[in-house]
Copies of this chain bind each other. A is one copy, B any other.
């Protein structure tokens, strides 16, 4: 479902996720779907430090299950952000590394991380203020 689902009240099969000129999200959805999920960013960040094997990644990304790591790296691979290399040894050995495209994305992720870090106090305070003024409201 990650390919072209933006809002979609439009047609089922739309090869043009973009559709309208007044729809400013064209294309961004693709990337957002990828980096927006729980694990991708963590994997990307880890790979930014260099190639990693499957188990290394799993150990580095604390809490990720085998299943989720597999799915995550597969999707990143499919999008051309990560390169997966299998060495026909026994036991199997596979390494993952960022592609040029993927490395480019890390800059943005880094920028986002910096912004997040810089604004964490502000956001935290905003939340406290909100929760204080809206005691019974459950936004999550």
Contacts and interface: CB of A to CB of B under 8 A. Distances in A.
Interface of A: 1-10, 20, 22-32, 35-37, 41-42, 45-46, 48-50, 60-64, 71, 74-75, 77-81, 101, 104-105, 108-117, 119-120, 122-123, 125-127, 129-131, 134, 137, 139-140
Nearest to A75: B139
Most buried by B among A3, A79, A108, A139: A3
Nearest to A59: B22
Nearest to A21: B62
A63 to B, nearest CB: 3
A128 to B, nearest CB: 10
Please provide the 10 A-B residue pairs with the shortest distance between their CB atoms, ordered closest to farther: A7-B63, A80-B126, A36-B36, A31-B116, A78-B130, A28-B113, A28-B116, A9-B63, A27-B116, A27-B120
Contacts of A101: 119, 122-123, 126
A80 B122 contact: yes
A60 B35 CA distance: 24
A27 B139 contact: no
A112 B9 contact: no
A2 B127 CA distance: 11
Contacts of A22: 60, 62
